[in-house]
């Protein structure tokens, strides 16, 4: 599986193009905007988009999801149903943050903890990781030791919890109880900024390193 990061929106959010190299089928994770850039990368790699996956309902991660899914004629999968609160607020979010007008939508499939999503020959496990938002999910390829964690965890930091329905204790629990057991060798793509590994964050992250109290 090949992963290409496409920074989009004024927030430089990491939209990811995942490609099953065996089949040429692809999934787009968190298309928050700048859809022309995403479509150009799809065309450049000459792949066939099969799914759109969403980690959570903040505008920089999902504002372009419905338009992009309609363009390719594919379903949207994710996030968890508890994220309906944020997706329903997309019109308000777009006005508040100066984004192009975004409409609320209904994903084709809401995801639960321990679900799996598929595209091509690839399978990603789903982990419900609340804290940054109530219905945030993380996608993990065990085969390729890769996680797409949205705004749960960053290189050297963690997600904000001061938004409505954010919860710091839940976020710390999600990281330590859901992500760390997957293995230190997992490379993760955060919602913003550079990639890192779970092991590196367990050693050095000032918020969730081993030995740091919650």
Q: Is 41 helix (H, G, I), strand (E, B) or coil?
A: helix
pLDDT (average), residues 160-171: 97
Q: How confident is the model at residue 213 (pLDDT cuts 50, 70, 90)?
A: confident
- Name the DSSP class of 99: P
3, pLDDT greater than 70: yes
User: Dihedral of the CA atoms 22, 183, 14, 205 (nearest 10)?
Assistant: -160
d(CA 9, CA 179): 27
Tokens of 131: 């804290």
Point out which residues pair with 6 in neighbouring strands.
15
Tokens of 185: 């060798």
Q: How confident is the model at residue 139 (pLDDT cuts 50, 70, 90)?
A: very high
- Name the DSSP class of 209: S
The maximal CA–CA distance of the chain, rounded, in angstroms, is: 48
Pairs from 108-115 (Cβ < 8 Å, separation ≥ 24): 108/69, 108/75, 108/76, 108/77, 109/75, 109/76, 109/77, 109/78, 110/78, 110/79, 110/80, 110/81, 111/77, 111/78, 111/79, 111/80, 111/137, 112/80, 112/81, 113/80
Q: So what's the pLDDT on residue 107?
A: 98
**What are the tens digits of pLDDT across the range 183-211?**
999 999 999 999 999 999 999 999 999 98
d(CA 9, CA 2): 23
Q: Is 177 helix (H, G, I), strand (E, B) or coil?
A: helix
Q: Is 79 helix (H, G, I), strand (E, B) or coil?
A: coil
Q: So what's the pLDDT on residue 214?
A: 67
**What are the tens digits of pLDDT across the range 32-91?**
999 999 999 999 999 999 999 999 999 999 999 999 999 999 999 999 999 999 999 999
pTM metric for this prediction: 0.98
pLDDT (average), residues 143-147: 98
Q: So what's the pLDDT on residue 134?
A: 98
Could you tell me the domains of the chain?
Answer: 2-204 (3.60.15.10)
Phi, psi of 2 (to 5 degrees): -105, 135
Find the helix or strand (DSSP H, E) in which 28 lies. Answer: strand 25-29
Chain-centre distance of CA 13, in angstroms? Answer: 10
Find the helix or strand (DSSP H, E) in which 71 lies. Answer: helix 65-72
d(CA 118, CA 89): 28
Catalogue the E-assigned strands of 58-110.
76-77
Is the backbone peptide bond immediately before 79 cis, with ω within 30 degrees of 0? yes
């Amino acid at each position: 599986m090949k992963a290409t990061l496409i920074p989009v929106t004024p927030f430089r959010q990491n939209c990811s193009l995942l490609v099953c190299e065996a089949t040429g089928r692809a999934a787009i994770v968190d298309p928050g905007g700048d859809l022309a850039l995403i479509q150009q990368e799809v065309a450049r790699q000459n792949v066939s988009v099969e799914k759109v996956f969403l980690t959570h309902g903040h505008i920089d991660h999902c504002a372009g999801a419905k338009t992009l899914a309609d363009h390719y004629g594919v379903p949207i999968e994710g996030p968890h149903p508890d994220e309906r609160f944020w997706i329903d607020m997309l019109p308000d979010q777009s006005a508040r943050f100066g984004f192009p007008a975004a409409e609320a939508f209904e994903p084709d499939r809401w995801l639960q903890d321990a679900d799996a999503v598929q595209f091509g020959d690839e399978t990603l496990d789903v982990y419900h990781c609340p804290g940054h938002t109530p219905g945030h999910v993380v996608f993990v390829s065990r085969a390729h030791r890769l996680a797409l964690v949205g705004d749960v965890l960053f290189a050297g930091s963690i997600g904000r919890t001061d938004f409505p329905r954010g919860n710091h204790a839940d976020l710390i629990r999600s990281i330590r109880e859901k992500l760390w057991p997957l293995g230190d060798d997992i490379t993760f793509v955060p919602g913003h900024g550079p990639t890192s590994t779970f092991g590196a964050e367990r050693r050095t992250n000032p918020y969730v390193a081993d030995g740091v109290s919650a």
